[in-house]
Amino acid sequence: MYYNWKDRTNTEELKIVCNLIRNGELVIFPTETVYGIGANALDTLAVGKIFLAKGRPSDNPLIVHLADKRKIDEVADDITEVEQELIDNFMPGPFTLILKKKPIIPDVVTAGLDTVAVRIPNNIIAKGIITFSGVPIAAPSANISGRPSGTSIEDIRKELEGKVSAIVDGGKTEIGIESTVVKVVDEVPVILRPGKVTPEEIKSVCGKVSIDSKVFQRTRSTDVIYSPGMKYRHYAPETKCKILYCENELDQIFYLKKFIKEYQGNLVIIGFNEHKEKVVLDEDRFISIGRIDNLNDYAKNIYSALRKADKIRPRIIIIEGVKKEGLGFAIMNRLLKTCDYDIFER
C-alpha cells in the first residue's frame, strides 16, 4: 500500500500503518534524515524481515526509534551524566546514542551486543507512527543494503516495493544524510558515524569529543561494530566512483578537466554549481550538488545525485569532495564509503 502524506497526515491511513507495525509488518516512512524501513523492535520475527528485505548482514546492528525521551528508560539502562547531557541537547533530532540495553530489546536488533542504538526522530510523520504504534521501531535506511540511502520515495520505491506492507511518502527528507552516532567511552563522547550533529557541537556541550578511528578507515572482518554504517560497503551506486578534492579551487577545476579528457567525456561529475560552466561536459553529465558555501544542500542532495548518475551508466562518477570540518566531516565519511576509499587529493 502506498500513502501520500506530502501535504498532510491522513488519520485513517495512520491507523492502518500503525496496525501493520504492531502486527509484525514492515513499513517505509520518512524521518528528517533519510527514509527508514521499520518494524516493531520488540518483535524478533518482524525485525528479521528487515534483514531479508534489505539483504543486510545480521552483524550490522539497527537503530531503535522512540517517540520521546521518556521512552528511553524502557529500552536502556544505567544512563550516565554525559549520556543524559547528550540526550538533553540533541534529542529529538538527527542524533543516535549507543546505550546499555535492557533485555526487552531482542538480540537480532543489536547484533548480539549488550548495547542498543537509540534515536528520537524530529519528523512529524515518524513521530506520529512511533507514538500511535505504541512500540519502539527498529529502522535502518530504506534501501537495498550497500546502495545509496533513500531521501525520496521516487529513489527507492522500485527496489523495495513488494518487500514491505506499506510505503508512506512524506516528500524529500530535510537533512539527507543519516544521524550522528555516538557512544560514550570513559565519559568521552566518541563519534562512530558522523552526521548532521557535528563534532564541534558535541564538544561545545560536553567539553570534549573523540572520533573513532574507523570513521575514515576500512574496518576489519573481526572488528566489533556498535553502529550502522561502519563495517560494510555503503551508500554506493553500481558505477565506480572517485572523490576529487583540492584545497585550491583552481586546482580542483584543472583536475576536473583532466578527468574529462582522460575518460573522453564518458563520465559523470557530481559537483558544485559554480564549476558547471567552467568545464566542457554534456549538460546531463554534470549533476549540480549545490553551492560551494552550502553544505546543507550537498548533504540533502548527494544520495539522489548518486542514483541519478548511476542511471547514465558512465565509466566512472567523479565526486567533488569538501573539507573535513563541520558538516563536511560527515559528507566525506559517506563519500569515502561510496567510493571504496578511492580519493584523489592535492
What's the pLDDT at 190? 97
Name which of 345, 310, 27 is nearest 165 in CA terms.
27
209, 210, 212, 213: CA torsion to nearest 10: 150
User: In the chain, where does the domain assigned CATH 3.40.50.11030 lie?
Assistant: 241-345
Measured between alpha carbons, how far is 40 from 91 in angstroms, rounded to an integer? 21
Q: What is the DSSP letter of 243?
A: E
Measured CA to CA, the distance from residue 80 to residue 199 in angstroms comes to: 20
Q: Name the segment(s) of the chain with CATH classification 3.90.870.10.
A: 2-173
pTM of the prediction? 0.94
Cis bond upstream, residue 92 (ω within 30): yes
Q: Domain 241-345 classified CATH 3.40.50.720?
A: no
Helix axes 199-206, 81-90, angle to 10 degrees: 130
Written in H, E and C, the secondary structure of 146-159 is CCCCCCCHHHHHHH
Q: How many angstroms separate the CA atoms of 135 and 133, rounded?
A: 6
Q: Which of 141, 137, 143, 135 is nearest to 118 (CA)?
A: 137
100 DSSP β-pair partners:
77, 115
- Nearest residue to 335 (alpha-carbon basis) of 230, 260, 235: 235
CATH of domain 2-173: 3.90.870.10
pLDDT in tens, 172-207: 999 999 999 999 999 999 999 999 999 999 999 999
How far apart, in whole angstroms, are the C-alpha atoms of residue 209 and residue 212?
10
Residue 183 and residue 118 in contact, taking contact as beta carbons nearer than 8 Å: no
Residues of the chain with pLDDT under 50: none
Residue with cell 510523520: 125
pLDDT at 136: 98
Beta strands in the chain (DSSP E): 2-4, 27-30, 35-40, 63-65, 76-77, 95-101, 115-119, 137-138, 166-169, 180-185, 188-193, 210-211, 241-245, 267-271, 286-288, 316-320, 343-345
- CB burial string 83-108: b at 16+ within 10 A, e below: bebbbeebbbbbbbbbbebeeebbeb
Contact assessment for residue 37 and residue 153, using Cβ atoms and an 8 Å cutoff:
no
Contact 168, 160 (CB under 8 A): no
State the pairing for strand pair 343-345/180-185. Answer: unpaired
